[in-house]
Chain A
Amino acid sequence: MSLIEITEVRKSFGANEVLKGINIDVDPGEVIAIIGKSGSGKSTLLRCINGLELIDDGSISVAGAQLLPDELHLKALRLKVGMIFQQFNLFPHLTAGGNVMLSQMVVKKTPKAAAEAMAHKMLERVGLGHKYDAFPDELSGGQQQRVAIARALAMQPIALLCDEITSALDPELVAEVLGVVRELASEGMTLLMVTHEMKFARDVCSRVVFMHQGRVHEIGKPEEVFADPKTPELKQFLGVH
Chain B
Amino acid sequence: MIEFSLWDIVRNLLLAARWTVVLSLVSFIGGALVGTLLLFMRIGRRRVLRLFAKYYVELFQGTPLLMQLFLAFFGLGLFGIDVPAWLAAGVALILWSAAFLTEIWRGCVEAIAKGQWEASSSLGMGYVQQMRYVILPQALKIAIPPTVGFSVQVIKGTALTSIIGFVELSKAGTVVTNATFQPFMVYGLVALIYFALCWPLSKSSQVLERKLNVAHRNH
Taking Cβ atoms with an 8 Å cutoff, the residues of A that contact B are 50-52, 71, 74-75, 78-79, 82-83, 85, 87-93, 102-103, 106-108, 136-137, 144, 148, 151-152, 155
Contacts and interface: CB of A to CB of B under 8 A. Distances in A.
A106 B135 CA distance: 14
A21 B217 CA distance: 41
Given A92-B219, A107-B129, A78 B122 contact: yes
Interface string B112-128: 01011011111111110
A74 B130 CA distance: 14
Contacts of B121: 51-52, 74, 78
Interface in B115-154: 115-116, 118-127, 129, 132-134, 137-138, 141
B46 interface: no
B108 to A, nearest CB: 13
Contacts of A91: 116, 119-120, 134, 138
Interface residues of B, number: 24
A79 B124 contact: yes
A50 B219 contact: no
Contacts of B217: 92, 137
A89 B115 contact: yes
B123 A152 contact: yes
In this complex, the member of B116, B134, B218, B219 whose beta carbon has the largest number of chain A beta carbons within 10 angstroms is: B219
Across the A-B interface, give the 5 residue pairs with the lowest CB-CB distance, nearest first.
A89-B119, A103-B123, A89-B115, A83-B122, A107-B124
Given A52-B121, A103-B123, A89 B129 contact: no
Interface in B73-131: 113, 115-116, 118-127, 129
Nearest to A51: B121
Contact of A85 (B119, B138, B216): B119
A82 B120 CA distance: 11
B78 to A, nearest CB: 47
Contacts of B113: 87, 89
A152 B119 CA distance: 9
Contacts of A148: 119
A75 B216 contact: no
A144 B120 contact: no
Interface string B199-219: 000000000000000001111
B171 to A, nearest CB: 45
Contacts of B120: 91, 103
A91 B117 CA distance: 10
